[in-house]
Chains A and B, each alone.
Chain A
Amino acid sequence: MSDDIIALLKENVIQGRKTQDDEGIDENLNGTPGVTELIQAALEQNIAPSVIIMQGLTAGMQVVGEKYSSKEYFIPDMLASAEAVGAAMDILKPYLEASNVETKGKFAIATVKGDIHDIGKNIVAILLKGAGYDVNDLGTDVPTEKIVEIVKEEKPDYLGLSALLTTTMVNMGEVMEALKENGVRDKVKVLIGGAAVSDEYAREIGADAYCVDGFDAINVLDTFQSSGA
């Protein structure tokens, strides 16, 4: 029985069905329980959160990643699956805390001061959440002081900064300087992204990485984790 639920959970992650109201790719699943309903059912059957995550959510996302790589899936498919996993993680959070299971890490993300563009940033946030990170989305046009304050108080492992405009990307440099001045630069890995920035710009302002998109961000974070950084 538990195997059935986990298999269904994995399939619904692949289908990108967060709730029973969502349409996936397979029309036969329409109206059947989605990821959030299946998570509740799994918890009611006392299936361990680690099993739910590893054999249901992560295994499902792995298939989604493969389908995306082979061009069978598009970004909206990936996002739908990531969003479903993100919702699942919200439900699982208290259980994970109770059983001392850690997430992959805390990730604060913001579009910097003066810039209100957030499509890319939102997509990155959804993907990271789906990949198992505890994401704190600070929103757009976030003042440098606010970002520093979050780093000091909430101690995220990673900080993602986004900017679309060449006129606002300079504020990323301002954030880097402020992190140094407040003595927290070494406490957090900084990743930058957005249409205006580049690998070269990341080096110029002293960020730890430039990410082309959300998938690149996941890869970069995996590299950090495997190197123990």
Chain B
Amino acid sequence: MPREGILINTPYERISEEQVKQIHQASIEILNDPGLICFNREAADIFNSNGADVTSVSSGDHPHWLVRIPEGLVLQALDNAPKTVKLGARNPDNTLIMKGEEPRVHFISGSETNIWLDVDFPTYVRKADHSVEIKVPEFHPRRGTVADLCQSAHVCEHLETLDGYIRTVNIQDKDITEDNKDVNKFFASLNNTTKHVMSGLTKLEQLDNVVNMAKLIAGGEEELKENPIISFITCLVKSPLQFVEDTTQTFIEICRRGLPIVVSSSPQAGSTAPIKEAGILAQINAEVLAGITLSQLVNKGTPVIYGSVPVRARLDTLGDSYGAVETSQYNIDCAQLARFYKLPNYSTSGVCDTKTPGQQTSIERLFSDILVTLSGPQYLHCAYGLLDCNSVFCLLQAVLDDAHFQMIKFFLKPAQIGQAEIDETLKQIREVVATPQKLYIRYLRPVMRSGEISMSYPFEGDGDTDDVFALAYERMNQLLAKPVEHIDEATTGRIFQEIPGLLPRLNVYK
């Protein structure tokens, strides 16, 4: 049985059907004029040999081509792309089945940050009265390590609402190089969670090592095809409208291997995309459609996910503003566009502008988490623990986010109203009204532990003080103490024998 996620019965939609068609048409026009600048020779050749209008623009140090993609090629690719994408998992119960037409949301962690945020609770003494002491959370940023990635995957394994794992932190240990980063980040993730693992690839030369590792874990080549325990995310089109040389090559190679892949684009309204909603939508849609078209030209039937990470620019820094209200609007619109194409959608919510957990963080996260969830994207990168746009990961925040998603998931359960419920409650009402105390508590008890009623916020303190962080920290440590199912010893042995570059300290059996 795959993970259930949460089915949105009536997805929230901001734009009308007519407006969706207008955006689609505008994207088709963009793909033809101005088209895309392509820095990858092979992609240019593929487009050229399939009927696109490809012209060489420069043959200097950075040769590139102008690729104008005709509408027919795009529509053909949309036809060929699978409408259901399966993301497998070490534990088959954690499989994700994503149907483009079904707004069933799965909640996912990520994405890769450079900074890991530690927390501790030093004691402070009141200046005016030394008998008064309080513990205050303090956050300490540092460079992420492979041990952090293991911890993060471990905790994410135990977060109930989290359906799939995108690696959360960039591993920057001294013995990690460009040549061994990919195998170590995939192994650290796969060995500490039985949920689906998605990641970007640092170096194309490592792709086959990563895929071979996945084959060993899945049980073979066919088994990996049947149960793709890993998938990839690539941002092959840099906004505005440029196929990047190396990422596009990585994308082509992943498509050739038939593994699931997210075609992601992340334009910034105001700087790398038009500031108006219609403008950024038309552009991001064109960028994603260009990637999808390439995927199907490389390998017809490649399982692709429509990946949209549109953001608005911060006006003070021109950095990404994930906390901006418009960012949620764009993401909701993109979920609608993906549904129009019947493709599963990778969407984004929960990323915030703040650098540490706190009130603004909770407000920004919940705002986008609730609204974007309601739009029904199948693969919601809702960024458990992510702070400071995409720069900082805090495990404590991930635990807090799980509590938020429990509330959201509970809220989205379908209403249970039917004749049986009405008959039962009429009976209760008549019985209770006839009693002296007129309390329904007797009927409350049987449902209290059945999951039919929501529980209190799990990090509510006993006293008048706000103990949320301290209680979440306690929970985080409980989850870290709870064991995870590692890859078995024999398979681990083969992996360390056959896959070069793995750090010996990641072998839990040695």
Q: CB within 8 Å of B: which residues of A?
A: 16, 22-23, 25, 74, 76-77, 79-80, 83, 118-119, 122-123, 125-126, 137
A-B pairs with lowest CB-CB distance, top 6: A122-B437, A76-B441, A23-B446, A76-B444, A76-B445, A79-B441
A118–B446 Cα distance when bound, in Å, is 24
Query: For A16, A76, A80, which residue has the most chain B Cβ atoms within 10 angstroms?
Result: A76
- Residue B449 CB within 8 A of the other chain: yes
Chain A residue nearest in CB terms to B440: A76
Q: CB within 8 Å of A: which residues of B?
A: 436-439, 441-442, 444-446, 448-449
Chain A: minimal CB distance from B260 (Å)? 43
Chain B: minimal CB distance from A78 (Å)? 10
| A79 neighbours in B (Cβ, 8 Å) | 439, 441
Contact B448 A74 (CB under 8 A): yes
- Apart from A77-B445, A83-B442, A125-B437, list 18 A-B contacts with CB within 8 A: A16-B445, A22-B442, A23-B445, A23-B446, A25-B449, A74-B448, A76-B444, A76-B445, A76-B448, A79-B439, A80-B441, A80-B442, A80-B445, A122-B438, A122-B439, A123-B439, A126-B437, A137-B436
| B442 neighbours in A (Cβ, 8 Å) | 22, 80, 83
| A22 neighbours in B (Cβ, 8 Å) | 442
A119–B446 Cα distance when bound, in Å, is 20
| B441 neighbours in A (Cβ, 8 Å) | 76, 79-80
Chain B: minimal CB distance from A154 (Å)? 18
A118–B439 Cα distance when bound, in Å, is 10
Q: Is chain B's interface secondary structure helix, strand, loop, or mixed overall?
A: helix
| B439 neighbours in A (Cβ, 8 Å) | 79, 119, 122-123
A77–B447 Cα distance when bound, in Å, is 12
17 CB < 8 A contacts A-B? A16-B445, A23-B446, A25-B449, A74-B448, A76-B441, A76-B444, A76-B445, A77-B445, A77-B448, A79-B441, A80-B442, A80-B445, A118-B438, A122-B438, A122-B439, A123-B439, A125-B437
Chain A residue nearest in CB terms to B445: A76
Number of A-B contacts (CB under 8 A): 28
A74–B439 Cα distance when bound, in Å, is 16
| B449 neighbours in A (Cβ, 8 Å) | 25
| A16 neighbours in B (Cβ, 8 Å) | 445
Chain B: minimal CB distance from A178 (Å)? 26
Chain B: minimal CB distance from A43 (Å)? 25
Chain B residue nearest in CB terms to A126: B437
| A119 neighbours in B (Cβ, 8 Å) | 439
Chain A: minimal CB distance from B435 (Å)? 10
Chain B: minimal CB distance from A25 (Å)? 7
Chain A: minimal CB distance from B462 (Å)? 9
A208–B438 Cα distance when bound, in Å, is 29
| A125 neighbours in B (Cβ, 8 Å) | 437
Chain B: minimal CB distance from A24 (Å)? 8
| A76 neighbours in B (Cβ, 8 Å) | 441, 444-445, 448
| A74 neighbours in B (Cβ, 8 Å) | 448
Query: For B436, B438, B441, B444, which residue has the most chain A Cβ atoms within 10 angstroms?
Result: B441
A38–B448 Cα distance when bound, in Å, is 26
| A118 neighbours in B (Cβ, 8 Å) | 437-438
Chain B: minimal CB distance from A180 (Å)? 31
| A23 neighbours in B (Cβ, 8 Å) | 445-446
| B438 neighbours in A (Cβ, 8 Å) | 118, 122
Chain B residue nearest in CB terms to A79: B441
A125–B441 Cα distance when bound, in Å, is 14
| B437 neighbours in A (Cβ, 8 Å) | 118, 122, 125-126
| B436 neighbours in A (Cβ, 8 Å) | 137
A128–B73 Cα distance when bound, in Å, is 78
| A123 neighbours in B (Cβ, 8 Å) | 439
Chain B: minimal CB distance from A157 (Å)? 22
A77–B438 Cα distance when bound, in Å, is 17
Chain B residue nearest in CB terms to A125: B437
| B445 neighbours in A (Cβ, 8 Å) | 16, 23, 76-77, 80
A83–B444 Cα distance when bound, in Å, is 14
Chain A residue nearest in CB terms to B444: A76
Chain B residue nearest in CB terms to A74: B448
A137–B449 Cα distance when bound, in Å, is 31
Chain B: minimal CB distance from A26 (Å)? 11
A126–B446 Cα distance when bound, in Å, is 19
Chain A: minimal CB distance from B496 (Å)? 44
A12–B445 Cα distance when bound, in Å, is 15
Chain B: minimal CB distance from A171 (Å)? 22
